[in-house]
Structure 1
């Protein structure tokens, strides 16, 4: 493959036309029955089924998953005045981050006609199991975008914030999915290997994996490892400027287990390829490659011109127009290549976004692309 040619990009370069009917509202009947667009080579892309993925990898390759677990982070309630509100919990604060050193504080987005005053009491109504709990509004959280607020949750017993979300919350489906969450979403908007609670959006490329595909990977001699990145609602936030360099990325909490660090070193030593499942895994691996920190927060912004240090292949879903994730996959596989693949996907009626189909991409050589 030839290096990508030099050009300057703006947000508008990452736009494309997508018919509404191609936005998947429900998952495929079977996880691995989704389509897979094989876009690894410079030749015409190949239309496949996702369960073919193991045959496209080599013995000794390493597949890295994000094992975050989606929590039921969408809650509904009211202020003391009776005004209705919606709360989307972005993260549960660690004790050292909380004002009172407890494990009961959270930060999140609040949709309400008028923001409550600090100290104001909110009542979150019960879910299907009835009841409810109270939350104290503590004021603004000092995030870069100024869109998050701090709250202290007060359950009727000794429940943790995760307990309260599990009892009273709703699956935080993306804004482009128009139906209310149901039992099927609770099962399918979650990976089969979800382990660490904390995400408000699924690592969607991993939704296609089922026990059959995992068994086939093992039989093929493909090794697996995991990282954790708790996907935040900022993954759906639109770009607010045409100048890419002016965009401020949201922060997400990540962890890189020592076993995964060792697995990557062993894979590279034997000449295998590191295959990232999803853009969240890419962001975790490339953050670690740059700062050598195995846990913390990342707001890494990957745009054309970025030099990848770890990831060789990428399994990913199709992303929103003009999004930071479109920029990431374009940086990885090449802008012209990615836009060609998206045109093919639209013409071939692939299903888009979280419940949609997947694609397999190969890293392009470093380029001199840049974003303005």
Structure 2
């Protein structure tokens, strides 16, 4: 889904095409633009100084989902006849242990077509929807056996601004534990163990939820969040901690738009586990989240709509124009934005 209002020109040289480590930086040395929700003030710093902008008692919520190598190459067969010997399949969302929604980068496949990834792994196209570019595919393996084969055969999903492939480790957050995200929950990438320890030392609380991020971008544009449900899980202990901090007047700071969606969904429906397709924009009243740590989002991205729930559009666009003038870097290997 795209917005019409939040548009701006992003110079191509501001697309981060290298991980920070390949630019001579530690993860937590990327730049950080801080926006004050009350005053609109903008400050520029480095991410390792995050503790200076927070207060004892604040609670940071991170997404501990781990990225899987969700881009797979396959042969495409119809009625046993090979149509193409190399088709890219991008996994989008797990439905069952052996069934996924996927984006197949090829001429339209049909229900009944076969995708052959290796001698051990195949999948059959079992469903399609007129309103969606995604197909439902059913693998011949399931559970941990399927996941192991995906790790052997797959590669991280890579978009056009990343000029060369990078190892899966570059797409992992240091604290990630539960495999399932097809794209890195990239707002957490700049956290190092040293920074996490420093936050706790300063009396700033840290806890985790799990939301497996789905495919957000297709060849022709962004996925509509309303049509892109994502599976989340919040433990009762974590929710109790969130509610206690919230009632005590401490700030809840979500790391990433995925965490905002999960927490606000739970606050609205009372369910600690489920799938969320919650769409948040300037008309939304945030019930539990007070601040967000996120990357910089490209023009017309639906993520920008969510940020207008924290800041008025004109303030957000002013800050983004300043970030462009200052040479901030965009996307998953880029710089960070704290709105609080």
- What is the TM-score with the length of structure 2 in the denominator? 0.90
Deviations 1:330-367 (A, max 9, x none): 221221111111011000000011111011112xxxxx
- What's the counterpart of residue 39 of structure 1? 35
1:43: how far off?
5.2
Q: Is the 8 A contact 1:318 1:357 kept in 2?
A: yes
Question: What CA distance in whole angstroms lies between the structure 2 residues aligned with 1:282 and 1:247?
Answer: 13
- What's the counterpart of residue 149 of structure 1? 135
Q: Is the 8 A contact 1:73 1:170 kept in 2?
A: yes
1:193: how far off?
1.1
* Structure 1 range deviating more: 193-202 or 109-118: 109-118
Q: Is the 8 A contact 2:281 2:306 kept in 1?
A: yes
Q: Is the 8 A contact 2:65 2:212 kept in 1?
A: yes
Classify 1:264/1:235 alpha carbon distance in 2 versus 1 (closer, same or farther; 3 Å): farther
How many residue pairs get aligned? The number is: 328
Q: Is the 8 A contact 1:135 1:152 kept in 2?
A: yes
1:253: how far off?
1.1
* Structure 1 range deviating more: 40-49 or 28-37: 40-49
- What's the counterpart of residue 323 of structure 1? 301
Which of 161, 164, 167 aligns to 2:149? It is 164
Q: Is the 8 A contact 1:107 1:148 kept in 2?
A: yes
Give secondary structure in 2 for the equivalent of 1:11.
coil
- What's the counterpart of residue 16 of structure 1? 8
Question: What CA distance in whole angstroms lies between the structure 2 residues aligned with 1:109 and 1:247?
Answer: 16
Give secondary structure in 2 for the equivalent of 1:253.
strand
Q: Is the 8 A contact 1:109 1:147 kept in 2?
A: yes
After superposition, the CA RMSD in angstroms is 2.2
Question: What CA distance in whole angstroms lies between the structure 1 residues aligned with 2:213 and 2:190?
Answer: 17
1:148: how far off?
1.9
Structure 1 stretches (4+) deviating beyond 6 angstroms?
A: none
In structure 1, the gaps of 5 or more residues are: 1-9, 95-102, 126-130, 241-245, 363-372
1:327-346 correspondence runs (5 A): 327-346=305-324
Deviations 1:82-112 (A, max 9, x none): 4131111122323xxxxxxxx3222211112
Classify 1:247/1:292 alpha carbon distance in 2 versus 1 (closer, same or farther; 3 Å): closer
- What's the counterpart of residue 115 of structure 1? 109
- What's the counterpart of residue 69 of structure 1? 66
Which of 191, 194, 202 aligns to 2:173? It is 191
Question: What CA distance in whole angstroms lies between the structure 1 residues aligned with 2:88 and 2:12?
Answer: 26
1:261: how far off?
0.6
- What is the TM-score with the length of structure 1 in the denominator? 0.82
Which of 249, 261, 269 aligns to 1:283? It is 261
Question: What CA distance in whole angstroms lies between the structure 1 residues aligned with 2:333 and 2:161?
Answer: 9
